[in-house]
Amino acid sequence: MPESREWLTQWLRDAHAMEEQAETMLSGQLSRLDSYPDLSARIRTHLAETKEQARRLKSCLDGIDEGSSTLKDAGAKLTAMAQSISGVFAGDEVMKGSLASYTFEHMEIASYKILKAAAQAAGEAEIARVCEQNLREEEAMAEWLKDNLAQITEIFLARADADSRNAKR
Ligand code: MG
Ligand code: FE
């Protein structure tokens, strides 16, 4: 296999592992967002997109001569990051989660820009199209978070304020 296809294959595997970690992270966040209906709804939508992204990447990999049997190795790298994102935080998990999500989306954006260029270099137009499709979904999620971080913070602070007033009564 020429070098460009080998790198493309490896990076597709990495991206597939990234999406599996994203799924873990988003599912973990959803369980704690009852008081944030907008954020909760957006994460639910992106969780569905994330599952579909992973499925698209797997079919790209199946199309290149490497099967999904090679997917297993790539997972470990991102596990620590995803665990830190979906793990337990001291009271401000919504804020920590939002911060981490914004960071994660930008890592995904960079990954798909790289993958798309690698796919084009390897003459894989269909894979480049899939990467562009995933890229657009990551950009939309990053944009939504950017536009909503202030409001999420306001809700968080208002709730913290109400909690402390209740505790003092
Ligand atoms: Mg994704
Ligand atoms: Fe994403």
Domain spans, the chain: 3-167
Rounded Cα–Cα distance for residues 135 and 129 (Å): 10
Tell me the pLDDT tens digit for each residue of 23-60: 999 999 998 898 899 999 999 999 999 999 999 999 99
Q: Which CATH superfamily is domain 3-167 in?
A: Ferritin, core subunit, four-helix bundle (1.20.1260.10)
Residue 156 pLDDT class (50, 70, 90 cuts): very high
Higher pLDDT residue, 79 or 130? 130
Q: How many angstroms from the chain centroid is the CA of residue 15?
A: 10
Ligand 2 ion: Cβ-proximal residues, 5 Å cutoff:
108, 138
Å from CA of 6 to ligand 2 middle: 25
